[in-house]
Amino acid sequence: MAKITYIAVDGSARTLEVEDGDSLMEAAVSNGVPAIDGDCGGNCACATCHVHVDAAWLAAAGTRSEMEEAMLDFAEGVTPDSRLACQIIASPALDGMIVRTPVSQH
Ligand code: FES
């Protein structure tokens, strides 16, 4: 289990307890977190789950796969802290992580 905080562009925050093994996209969609659509169901094929990972959590989030890199090419406003939330899998190591949803998904 990991507590993940999703911060929207307007500064509002939602903190969810995400089960180990679930992706940050799945948790967001199931709990109605705005601006994370997850249109492809987590198959790394849509980029509608683009988030910016807080700098303090970038290392814990791991690195992008080649497929994720390719998909992020289709997202707007990609920065070095950009990840696809469907590719970040909750574990105790991520407890406390903060992610921000991008302007382009609002
Ligand atoms: Fe489609 Fe993440 S849900 S790329």
Tens of pLDDT, residues 23-36? 999 999 999 999 99
pLDDT band at 106 (very low <50, low <70, confident <90, very high): low
Percent of the chain with pLDDT over 90: 95
44/85 Cα distance (integer angstroms): 9
User: Is 97 close to ligand 1, i.e. is its CB under 6 Å away?
Assistant: no
Is 103 a residue whose pLDDT tops 90? no
Tens of pLDDT, residues 61-79? 999 999 999 999 999 999 9
C-alpha 68 to ligand 1 mean position (Å): 9
At residue 14, the 3 state secondary structure works out as strand
User: Is 44 close to ligand 1, i.e. is its CB under 6 Å away?
Assistant: yes
Residue entry with tokens 């700098």: 55
Q: What is the pTM of this model?
A: 0.96
Other CB atoms within a 10 A radius of the CB of residue 81 amount to 15
CB 13 within 8 A of CB 6: yes
43/70 Cα distance (integer angstroms): 13
* H helical segments located in 1-106: 24-30, 58-61, 66-72
Ligand 1 pocket test: pick from 86, 89, 99, 101 the residue with the most ligand atoms within 8 Å of its Cβ.
86
What is the predicted pLDDT for the residue at 105?
Answer: 77
